[in-house]
Structure 1
């Protein structure tokens, strides 16, 4: 196995680890192993991740083809959309790792992602449109320009830019993943929890890993109104969830063990009962864990003296 192949396999392992952590840790409003919801179980997400990881990290595939093939693989095992946002965020990262397997700092990896985004073309848009229409995420609706149910007339990055003001994932394509990189490295994530493979589907992460993943998720929730909530429930509900997340993030920062707090679990239950799913925040969490896992598993020193841990 050459260095590029080894890097791809390491990135794939980081992705699978991130997806496992996504459901191994309670994330209010979102599906976890101990808290199913929205007519979905954690096992669906694990099987989806395993299936999607094959095409997502397939050498030589363009970003659009990775997204489309991964969505099809997901539907083959889950029969529904479990990970479209994750795939939209992770496909450019997977391509960047393949193109620059020595990107061992946040700044270098972000530059590699920007290079990938700069080469997106109309074929990428066509494939991504088909994938989005196939997944049919909640609250998708229609768009006045470059609607995903129509044939695109611009490249994928340009199409995403048109949706950037209403969709946080689209904004990452326009802005070079700036928000994602900032969030990924502002919250310290337990080293062992990121780079050690789980013993199995029923294994449990250690307390330090649980706490750090929850802080990361709450940071994502508290940074922006969740796009998925906005689409389904409107801006006022999204704003209230964001404010609540900020309060819980502050408590976690003060050292509170959130899983020991009955109110934290009750918040999770209440969000699910109302059909409120911070899906974009969960997508961001997985992609951020992929970025963090990749950097921390690189053999080269991960700390970037110029950019620090903020990817700026």
Structure 2
């Protein structure tokens, strides 16, 4: 009779783990012009801050996978992400990932599945979203004058107005997606309202691509950046600069060319962070759909 070590079947990564991995892979992808990656830091935001932010967000991602309310899961993820010295690393990424994780945990990581999650959000979810702004500074455009009481930068102070107006988180995203009156539209909000079309298209591009997944992430980032102007660039530098960056991305034909451009954007302080958010979301969907790491 011989002693045999017991065999244990290793569990598969679940949606929360895939979301954490997507955050790590997003920042590891390089080059992503203007963004922190494994080759370059920004003046006050470093690669290590993003690693710590991804790990810190895990509790909120776990809550989303467990079916907790979207707003509570999001605020928990942002609070955990903020526990590093760099400040806001992945607020926008988490805004996209939380409903995706909820949908995936329910067995429906599709545009229809995540649309259902978003449309089912409540006023309480909106309150959680607003409270999340109290954990980190987030660059956002000024709202239309008539929506000043609902400026997200007011944080919890805006919650009574939310409740008075009976606005769900989906309603808030819908207002941000098409604010009108010359105010810019937020790309992440449009994903929420439209069923994450760019996220799922980029995920399929990552799946169809070849080579290391960090390289695929970098190529997906460039394709997304060439597709339309980046919201964060428009907020910080104006729409003309955002269009210039978009057009330049469309002319980049290799990662080597992107590497040369990356230093220029860092020097100019131009950070296409919204495009990085979409890249993280696309990586999550690709991982959920079987991309190997």
TM-score (norm 2): 0.82
Of 151, 176, 183, the residue aligned with 2:195 is 176
2:249 & 2:217 partners in 1: Cα distance? 14
Contact between 1:189 and 1:212, CA under 8 Å: does it hold in 2?
Answer: no
Aligned residues: 261
2:258 & 2:209 partners in 1: Cα distance? 21
Shift of 1:112: 1.4
Shift of 1:79: 5.2
Contact between 1:57 and 1:95, CA under 8 Å: does it hold in 2?
Answer: no
* Correspondence list, 1:43-62, <5 A: 43-58=48-63, 59-62=66-69
Of 171, 174, 197, the residue aligned with 1:158 is 171
User: How big is each residue's C-alpha offset from its partner over 1:237-277, in whole Å with a ceiling of 9 and x where there is no partner?
Assistant: 000110111111xx23xxxxx2xx3x533311111111100
1:68 & 1:281 partners in 2: Cα distance? 22
- The answer for unaligned runs of 5 or more in structure 1 is 1-5, 192-206, 253-257, 299-312
Secondary structure of 1:290 counterpart: helix
- Cα RMSD (Å) of the superposition? 2.1
After the TM superposition, which of the residue ranges 60-69 and 142-151 deviates more from structure 2?
A: 142-151
The answer to whether the aligner puts 1:25 opposite 2:29 as a matched pair is yes
Secondary structure of 2:289 counterpart: helix
Q: Which has the larger radius of gyration?
A: 2
For 1:303, the equivalent position in structure 2 comes to none
Contact between 1:48 and 1:78, CA under 8 Å: does it hold in 2?
Answer: no
For 2:215, the equivalent position in structure 1 comes to 211
Contact between 2:203 and 2:285, CA under 8 Å: does it hold in 1?
Answer: yes
Of 72, 88, 99, the residue aligned with 2:95 is 88
TM-score (norm 1): 0.78
* Correspondence list, 1:1-312, <5 A: 9-26=13-30, 27-58=32-63, 59-78=66-85, 80-98=87-105, 100-101=106-107, 103=108, 109-144=110-145, 145=147, 146-148=150-152, 149=154, 150-151=158-159, 152=162, 153=165, 154-165=167-178, 166-188=185-207, 208-248=212-252, 251-252=253-254, 258=255, 261=256, 263-296=257-290
1:177 & 1:130 partners in 2: Cα distance? 24
Contact between 2:20 and 2:57, CA under 8 Å: does it hold in 1?
Answer: no
